[in-house]
Amino acid sequence: MRKHKKPDSFYFTAGAAVTGVMAVLIVLGFFWAPYDPEAMAGTLKLQGPSFAHLFGTDQFGRDVLSRVLTGAGSTFVVAAGTIVIGGTAGIIIGALTGYFGGWLDEGLMRINDALAAFPSVLLALVIISISGPGKYKVMAALGIAFIPSFARVVRGEFMRCVKEDYVISAKLIGVPAWRILFVHILPNILPALLSSLTIGFNNAVLAEAGMSYLGIGVQPPDASLGRMLSEAQTYLAGGPWCAIFPGVFLVLLVLGVGMLGEGILDRFGGGR
């Protein structure tokens, strides 16, 4: 149908390549870093990038590369946890409301619309203001805040599929509803779901970075890219590398996952 095709294979390939490299670095950061990310060295304050310290050192003489690797790890954990929480709940709510419809759908979607109109970061802030900050609390807060957007996507896809022949046939031969929902329909909406999960992942990474930057996200001693950026702000003049490297790492991660998501939709997905 579409006359103007996007360079789809490019998005998928480039996205997968960048995401792959970032994933390797993040996994590496869980097990190994060139230096102890917390080790301070008074003689090495705000040193520029060198062979010993590829990304330079910060105001306490800590190795920026080591901190980026560990910080990216916790950013990843928070974002992954967010989409696991938000995705699971969103799939269940979206599947039930989209498939069965009725008053349950009407009621839940009203609440959903009211919440979805609200920026998820603000919703997460509300939860954080009550629960207090911290790595796992941020994860839970963002996870809950992301439920409406996932539920909305999944619901739309299920509503589309309910009318398909294979679902009607499955109903006729007496396949139980839960099986139709999660074995028959779910695999068919995978491209749309995966693509919205990648968008959710990126939003979670950006939200966590923003919250940690504001000092109400991940708390010390846990490292995070957002917190590194916030600490680096005071030293922008004397050590711009403290901000640039974590920032660029963050951008590359989001860029890679974003392109991968678009590639998945272009390559495997139907119409939007």
- Contact residues toward other proteins (CB under 8 A) are 2-4, 6, 110-111, 113-115, 117-119, 121-122, 125-126, 128-130, 202, 206, 209-210, 213-216, 229, 232-233, 236-237, 240, 243, 247, 250-252, 254-255, 258-259
First to last CA, the chain: 13
The contacts of residue 46 (CB under 8 Å, 6+ apart) are 56, 57, 58, 59, 235, 238, 239, 242
- The answer to whether 49 touches 56, Cβ cutoff 8 Å, is yes
Pick 69 or 253: Cβ nearer other proteins:
253
- What is the secondary structure of 28-96 as a DSSP string? HHHH--SS-TT---GGGTTPPP-SSSTT-B-TTS-BHHHHHHHHHHHHHHHHHHHHHHHHHHHHHHHHH
Closest distance to other proteins from the beta carbon of 15 (Å): 10
Report how many helices (DSSP H) and strands (DSSP E) the chain contains, helices first. Answer: 10, 0
- C-beta of 84: minimal distance to other proteins in Å? 22
Q: Which residue has the tokens 């702000």?
A: 233
Which CB atom, from 177 or from 236, has the smaller least distance to other proteins?
Answer: 236
- Rounded Cα gap, residues 32 and 205, in angstroms: 22
d(CA 44, CA 109): 56
CB-nearer residue toward other proteins: 60 or 235 = 235
CB nearer to other proteins: pick between 94 and 258? 258
Minimum separation from the CB atom of position 52 to other proteins (A): 25
Minimum distance of other proteins from residue 232's CB (angstroms): 8
Smallest gap from residue 8 Cβ to other proteins (A) = 13
Instruction: Kindly tell me which of 94 and 239 has the beta carbon lying closer to other proteins.
Output: 239
Closest to other proteins by CB, 81 vs 217, is 217
The least distance separating other proteins from the CB of residue 253, rounded to whole angstroms, comes to 8
Q: Which is nearer to other proteins, 96 or 242 (CB)?
A: 242
Closest approach of other proteins to the CB of residue 94, in Å = 19
Cβ count within 10 A of residue 144 = 19
C-alpha closest to that of 199 among 211, 207, 189: 207
Rounded Cα distance between 12 and 188, Å, is 20
